[in-house]
C-alpha cells in the first residue's frame, strides 16, 4: 500500500513539473503569418521529384502553432515544425511531389497548413509543367 501511495505522489510531482514550463500558450490565441502561396518548379521531366519550400513568417503577436500540414494527395510528402514559431521568426515547410504517375502538362498540387490563425487552414500550391522524357 505504501508503494502505491509513493507512486501516486511521484506521478503528481512529475505532472506538476511538466506543467510548470515557461513555454505557456493560451488556447484561443490567434496570430497571423505570411507565406509564398505558390512554389513554381518550372519545367520538369516526367518522373522527376519536385522539392518545394514554403517560407512561413509569423507576423502576429502570439506564437504560431502549426498543428497539421497535409498534402492534397499521397504523392506529396510534407514536414511541419515541432515547436511554435515565435513572432517575427520564420520556418521552411518542405513538400516533395513525385511526378512518375503524373500526366504531361500542368501539374498543380495543394498543401494545407492548419494553424492558430483565422482562417485556420491556409492552402499553398506546388505547380510545374511536366514534360515527357
- All domains in the chain, ordered by first residue: 25-131 (2.60.40.10)
Output the CA torsion 10→11→15→18 (10° steps): 60
For position 1, what pLDDT does the model report? 52
The closest alpha carbon to 64, from 31, 27, 22, belongs to 31
What is the arithmetic mean of pLDDT over 85-108?
Answer: 95
**Radius of gyration (Cα) for the chain, nearest Å?**
21
pLDDT band with cut points at 50, 70 and 90 for residue 83? very high
Mean pLDDT across the stretch 32-42? Answer: 97
Helix or strand or coil: residue 132? coil
pTM assigned to the model = 0.76
For residue range 44-56, list pLDDT tens digits in order.
999 999 999 999 9
Amino acid at each position: 500500500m505504501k508503494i502505491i501511495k509513493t507512486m501516486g505522489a511521484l506521478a503528481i510531482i512529475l505532472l506538476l513539473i511538466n506543467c510548470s514550463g515557461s513555454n505557456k500558450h493560451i488556447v484561443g490565441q490567434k496570430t497571423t503569418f505570411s507565406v509564398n502561396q505558390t512554389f513554381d518548379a518550372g519545367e520538369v521531366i516526367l518522373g522527376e521529384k519536385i522539392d518545394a519550400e514554403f517560407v512561413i513568417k509569423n507576423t502576429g503577436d502570439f506564437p504560431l502553432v502549426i498543428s497539421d500540414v497535409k498534402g492534397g494527395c499521397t504523392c506529396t510528402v510534407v514536414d511541419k515544425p515541432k515547436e511554435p514559431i515565435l513572432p517575427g521568426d520564420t520556418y521552411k515547410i518542405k513538400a516533395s511531389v513525385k511526378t512518375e504517375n503524373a500526366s504531361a502538362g500542368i501539374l498543380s498540387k495543394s498543401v494545407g497548413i492548419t494553424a492558430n490563425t483565422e482562417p485556420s487552414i491556409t492552402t499553398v500550391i506546388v505547380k510545374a509543367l511536366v514534360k515527357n522524357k
